[in-house]
Amino acid sequence: MRKLMLPFYYFRDRNTGIWDEVSISITGPVKIIDPHLVSTFFDGYKRVYLHTTTELENKSSSVVECDLNIQVTSELEGGVCIVEHLQTQHLSIPSGKRVQHTFPQLFFYKPNLWWPNGMGKQALYHVTITVDVKGHGESDSWSHMYGFRKIESYIDSATGGRLFKVNGQPIFIRGGNWILSDGLLRLSKKRYKTDIKFHADMNFNMIRCWGGGLAERPEFYHYCDIYGLLVWQEFWITGDVDGRGVPVSNPNGPLDHDLFMLCARDTVKLLRNHPSLALWVGGNEQVPPPDINNALKDELKLHPHFESLHNTGKTVQELSASVKDPSNYLDGTRIYIQGSMWDGFANGKGDFTDGPYEIQYPESFFKDDFYNYGFNPEVGSVGVPVSATIKATMPPEGWKIPLFKKLPDGYVEEVPNPIWEYHKYIPYSKPGKVHNQILLYGTPTDLNDFCLKAQLVNYIQYRALLEGWTSRMWSKYTGVLIWKTQNPWTGLRGQFYDHLLDQTAGFYGCRSAAEPVHVQLNLATYFIEVVNTLSEQLSDVAIEASVWDLEGTCPYYVVHEKLSVPSKKTVPILEMKYPKSKNPKPVYFLLLKLYKMSDYGVISRNFYWLHLPGGDYKLLEPYRKKRVPLKIRSTTFIKGSTYEMEMHVENKSKKPDSKSLTYKNNFVTRIGDGDFDMASVEPVNSAAEEKQEASLFQRIYRRFSGETDDLQVSEINGSDEGVAFFLYFSVHASKPGHKEGEDTRILPVHYSDNYFSLVPGEVMPIKISFEVPPGVTPRIRLNGWNYHSGHKVY
């Protein structure tokens, strides 16, 4: 199996012995065991019932009298909590016995619902269960964050793909495959938080926990709940138990089927109360052995209330006297799919119809024949990180870039060094199919040059992948999961951030393409499209399309006003005709903005660099010598070791046309921005700037108690005019004793955007947040295609 060859998969003893945390807890006579929370919805999600069942074990030598309590609280703004329900039941539990108890259902009217990332807020309630034993006091307690939501899925008749609905709303799946947080199982709450927030930052809404990994710690799923990432949870059936691989594996594996099912049941009980958990899947690219598969099907069968897409309108008690309360089931609320390519995934029959796993022409993703099935569980591509990561993780012999070997048919084969081969490097060319995408920019001179050009390709590759899928939302596709989002080791393939937690440019290509509302260019038809994944129609919006050449002029400008875009639709609006105009430039930039006509608020901004058909980007090489003046206003707020920074980056070169709307546009808050809740920017006059800075100060002051703040203005001088191209920030440590060549990056860092470009006169707000190690002073640097020396801006 192709993915088996990664060295990670040969780590020994990855699923035997004690590998996770071991803890000892002390309770009184009665212990609470594996509570199960289930919500049922009626009357259009207005009436909701919470069902709760738990096991109780009396470890004492006598009958105990006890009070079993359940409390549900919600948190209001300002940290104030309100008790929604408090219920007490009196029980007698015989000596040495384990009993199961189901609470009377709790009724909620119009509760706050939990939504996936990009669809709404992730409302969570705090459920606490305690047991008080007579003569002893509190014996045990259990608590969990719980979200009210209903997940449904079925095979869509229009596409043949599996379609997911959350709270009755269809959700177009755009996510990735998750391998493991760390190959050596150095699992931590802090890294989990970063990992999951990175996925939310990319505007993803699903993570597939691939079957070659494991069920992660509860903290992983907690942060999926917090950030709105649906989880496809796979059981541990993959290439090492299907008769494939080198050496050949056991086709009837795992060896101990009873132990496997014991672990499976425990895993279900561990994870079932998380609202982010969307479905169970038996195996990766295969079905578990028949006895295991049948057992999983039986034990994960749906409760009758969840079998149909439409509720019966009856309460659970009214369904049937023989139907158990849904919280009595092992799960009963989520579907079980026997394998990752069955029942609405890939071709639905288990054939190897996922992939491909290599570089593509960007326009290929938009074409009718690229992928023929409704939901692709794995499609992969390149993933070279920045050069600093390679230098930090490999000896100098690993810094050698691939050799470009020209073949007789005109294609170029990349020959990587042995260290890159070991780290499973995926080339940026596919001889016979795809010409080298790095060489479009010219032959790289060294590692820094190669990795920078690779970031250009990464950005285009993954933005085009997601935009191609979204272009056919509901008409051809229901979802896509990229192989893969991250690496559990220092790999060189398919990743959006490396093992050191530095993002590639592909990260921001995905963030752009997966916006809930997005304006994009169909690279096959050259029609400008608007994607609306929200449940509300977009009204009174406009599109501004401007082309910028390498001389800094704007030869093409068009505004299309008074648009309406239906909910859950991708709509082609107009053709971008510049390539067909008289004397088009061989290389040019395209800026698309979707904005509100009422206040010019930008809803979506998308920037492309393009060449004419059959051309290349080699004219960008001399463009690196351009020096476009920039002005950067930075505001810094510090709370302990946490830094929050607002950067307003302005391209100060001359505006070619004062009538264009680009300079009136303001950036508005987007759904799902989370910590990147940007204030509007109005670069009109100094008074407006001062007003904006004051409001920003007040907003962050309230959040951080205003311990420290710092307003600073940096100027990057230049006499040229044009686009400031492919700019990116990085954060570095400044402290005595640094050795030359030492990796000074502070990681991880969360950016509201990066690898961005600015046309003349345009201002971009960038928010940066990070933690600083003790004794370290952070320094912010700006690099880019024509800012390669690393200007210090803070």
User: Please, what is the Cα angle at 635 between 629 and 640, to 5 degrees?
Assistant: 140
Helix axes 218-227, 257-271, angle to 10 degrees: 40
Contact call for residues 213 and 178 (beta carbons, < 8 A) = yes
| Cα 51 from Cα 326, distance rounded (Å) | 7
Tokens of 619: 């004219």
Q: Which of 234, 378, 644, 762 is catalytic?
A: 378
403-406 and 412-415: which strand pairing?
antiparallel
State how far Cα 323 lies from the chain centre.
38
Q: Where are the alpha helices (DSSP H) in 514-631?
A: 620-623
Contact call for residues 700 and 639 (beta carbons, < 8 A) = no
Tokens of 680: 């509007």
Q: What sign results for the dihedral spanned by CA atoms 111, 116, 122, 128? A: positive
**Neighbouring-strand partners of residue 532:** 517, 569
Residue among 198, 292, 199, 193 nearest 242 (CA): 292
Residue for token pair 């390498």: 550
Class of residue 37 by CB neighbours under 10 A (exposed 0-12, middle 13-18, buried 19+): buried
| Cα 386 from Cα 304, distance rounded (Å) | 52
Tokens of 38: 């289930």
| Cα 519 from Cα 513, distance rounded (Å) | 9
Between the two ends of the chain, the Cα-to-Cα distance in Å is: 48
| Cα 438 from Cα 620, distance rounded (Å) | 12
721 part of the active site: no
Tallying the residues shown for the chain, one arrives at 794
Q: Which of 57, 138, 219, 285 is catalytic?
A: 285
Residue 702's SS3 state is helix
Q: Where are the beta strands (DSSP E) in 324-410?
A: 336-337, 375-380, 403-406
21 part of the active site: no
Residue 82's SS3 state is strand
Contact call for residues 205 and 229 (beta carbons, < 8 A) = yes
State how far Cα 60 lies from the chain centre.
48
Catalytic residues: 285, 378
